[in-house]
């Protein structure tokens, strides 16, 4: 039997018909020696364009309708890739998330995969077809509604399939050829990382690395799926391998820098922080805004301070909404976070070095947040790039 591999192609690698044909040629070649499930993202910036389209017809689009709209993007990619493959003499069939049996909870816009019952995929593989699967989407078996998995969620579709089929590995193929020590657009000297373990990558994605969807790494860890992040082109390059227990014997080592671009600080008049969070949740529910990622909460005697982050479109909606609220005030300046992932974060050395580097560059940190594998500084958003550059000298 041929080994089974799951490959996920990012939107940038499928941005136009030529790129789709190039990806298909690559898939056709690999299908000779492997059984393949190919998960696709929407072409180029399609998802952003669809979100923009929605905002032109509605100020508060229903999350259900957003899911109906956004799933179209991946559906375009899957059918085109399948057509191109069949044209090249490689038998292929495309499936939506619901056809492929990706079952989620019933929340819209940020649904959670609960189960995979991929009978049709199994059948297609048995008849030696390459399966092309629309990423980022599923169906709720309770509501029967189509759902999406959150921005970047195609990675999680791919890992879920790899886990369900016990695949050899899950390859996340992109136009960026590996996971880097920092965003190469900001730091010209950023280095590709050859090996990572799940915990390191989970920390990195939690703190803003866009290279993978956070939940995909969490799922890969729990289900022991070997991940490889590499280039979608045929150029030979090493990429990044993610598996259990790598490089765990280095006591104190800075590994990578990641950043959340827009972090909002919300001050609530409600003294009880649990109640304040519930009020926010209800407000977002009412306004059909997906709850952003909660980063930090400060509990004071007479108020709570809550730090939230998320994709630009969600943060924009949160800002617009909170400006007219009495119970909540928004800190007038946007913050960002910059996080150094490292081993040995529990020793005082690394946080000291971070703060020293910032002092030297005359950069101000408002808060320092520690975790087992990282040191995070909260800074003014306007100093994000300088902070990333200054701290990258630690790596």
Q: Which residues bind Mg ion (CB under 5 A)?
A: 11, 41-42, 47
Burial of 352 (0-12, 13-18, 19+ CB in 10 A): exposed
Q: What whole-number distance in Å separates Cα of residue 194 and Cα of residue 192?
A: 6
Helix (H) or strand (E) holding 80: helix 63-87
Q: Are 328 and 269 in contact (CB under 8 A)?
A: yes
Q: How far is the CB of 230 from ligand ASP (least distance, A)?
A: 17
Nearer to Mg ion, 73 or 351 (CB): 73
Partner touching 351 among ligand ASP, Mg ion, none, CB below 5 to 8 Å by kind = none
Nearer to Mg ion, 40 or 178 (CB): 40
Q: How far is the CB of 267 from ligand ASP (least distance, A)?
A: 30
Partner touching 73 among Mg ion, ligand ASP, none, CB below 5 to 8 Å by kind = ligand ASP
| Per-position DSSP letters for 156-197, written without gaps between them | HHHHHHHHHTT-SEEEEEESS-SEESS-TTT-TT--EESEE-
Nearer to ligand ASP, 242 or 358 (CB): 242
Q: Are 119 and 101 in contact (CB under 8 A)?
A: yes
Nearer to ligand ASP, 154 or 240 (CB): 154
Q: Are 160 and 222 in contact (CB under 8 A)?
A: no
Partner touching 135 among ligand ASP, Mg ion, none, CB below 5 to 8 Å by kind = ligand ASP
Q: How far is the CB of 134 from ligand ASP (least distance, A)?
A: 10
Helix (H) or strand (E) holding 92: strand 92-95
Nearer to ligand ASP, 41 or 96 (CB): 41
Q: How far is the CB of 43 from ligand ASP (least distance, A)?
A: 9
Q: Collapsing DSSP states into helix, strand and coil, what is residue 49? A: helix
Nearer to ligand ASP, 42 or 395 (CB): 42
Q: What whole-number distance in Å separates Cα of residue 119 and Cα of residue 242?
A: 28
**Nearest CA to 93 among 139, 146, 42, 37?**
37
Q: How far is the CB of 153 from Mg ion (least distance, A)?
A: 9
Q: How far is the CB of 210 from Mg ion (least distance, A)?
A: 11
Lookup: tokens for 321: 């909404």
Q: Are 339 and 394 in contact (CB under 8 A)?
A: no
Residues near ligand ASP (CB under 6 A) are 11, 41-42, 47, 73, 135-136, 151-154
Q: How far is the CB of 377 from ligand ASP (least distance, A)?
A: 27
CA angle 110, 7, 99 (to 5 degrees): 55
Residue number closest to ligand ASP, CB atom: 154
Residue number closest to Mg ion, CB atom: 11
Q: How far is the CB of 172 from ligand ASP (least distance, A)?
A: 10
DSSP assignment, residue 327?
S
Nearer to ligand ASP, 211 or 308 (CB): 211
Partner touching 151 among Mg ion, ligand ASP, none, CB below 5 to 8 Å by kind = ligand ASP
Q: Which residue has tokens 């993978």? A: 212
Alpha-carbon distances, residue 363 vs 366, 378, 383 (angstroms) = 10, 11, 7
Q: How far is the CB of 91 from ligand ASP (least distance, A)?
A: 26
Nearer to ligand ASP, 10 or 351 (CB): 10
Nearer to ligand ASP, 5 or 78 (CB): 78
Q: What whole-number distance in Å separates Cα of residue 176 and Cα of residue 156?
A: 18
Q: Collapsing DSSP states into helix, strand and coil, what is residue 289? A: coil
Q: How far is the CB of 390 from ligand ASP (least distance, A)?
A: 30
Lookup: tokens for 297: 């909460």
Q: What is the number of other CB atoms lying within 10 angstroms of the CB of residue 294?
A: 13
Q: What whole-number distance in Å separates Cα of residue 287 and Cα of residue 1?
A: 52
């Amino acid at each position: 039997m041929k080994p089974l591999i799951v490959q996920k192609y990012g939107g940038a690698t499928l941005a136009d018909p030529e790129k789709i044909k190039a990806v298909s040629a690559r898939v056709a070649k690999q299908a000779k020696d492997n059984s393949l499930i190919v998960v696709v993202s929407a072409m180029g910036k399609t998802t952003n364009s669809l979100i923009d389209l929605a905002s032109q017809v509605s100020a508060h689009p229903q999350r259900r309708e957003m899911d109906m709209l956004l799933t179209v993007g991946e559906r375009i990619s899957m059918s085109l890739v399948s057509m191109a493959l069949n044209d090249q003499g490689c038998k292929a069939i495309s499936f939506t998330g619901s056809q492929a049996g990706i079952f989620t909870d019933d929340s819209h816009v940020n649904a959670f995969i609960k189960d995979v019952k991929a009978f049709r995929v199994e059948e297609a593989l048995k008849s030696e077809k390459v399966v092309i699967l629309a990423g980022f989407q599923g169906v709720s078996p309770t509501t029967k509604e189509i759902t999406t998995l959150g921005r970047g969620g195609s990675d999680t579709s791919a890992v879920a399939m790899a886990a369900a089929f016990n695949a050899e590995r899950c390859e996340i193929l992109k136009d960026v050829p590996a996971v880097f020590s920092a965003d190469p657009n900001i730091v010209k000297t950023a280095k590709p990382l050859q090996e990572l373990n799940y915990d390191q990558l989970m920390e990195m994605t939690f703190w803003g690395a866009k290279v993978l969807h956070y939940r995909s790494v969490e799922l890969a860890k729990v289900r022991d799926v070997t991940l490889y992040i590499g280039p979608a082109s045929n150029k030979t390059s090493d990429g990044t391998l993610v598996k259990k227990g790598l490089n765990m014997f280095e006591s104190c080592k800075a590994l990578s820098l990641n950043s959340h671009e827009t972090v909002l600080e919300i001050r609530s008049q409600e003294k009880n922080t649990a109640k304040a969070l519930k009020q926010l949740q209800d407000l977002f529910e009412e306004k059909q805004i997906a709850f952003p990622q909660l980063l930090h909460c400060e509990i004071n005697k007479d108020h709570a301070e809550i730090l939230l982050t998320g994709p630009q479109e969600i943060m924009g909606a949160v800002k617009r909404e909170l400006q007219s609220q009495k119970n909540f005030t928004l800190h007038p300046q946007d913050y960002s976070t910059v996080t150094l992932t490292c081993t040995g974060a529990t020793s005082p050395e690394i946080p000291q070095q971070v703060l020293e580097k910032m002092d030297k560059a005359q950069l101000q940190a408002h808060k320092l947040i520690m975790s087992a594998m990282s040191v995070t500084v909260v800074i003014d958003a306007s100093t994000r790039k300088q902070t990333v550059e200054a701290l990258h000298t630690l790596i």
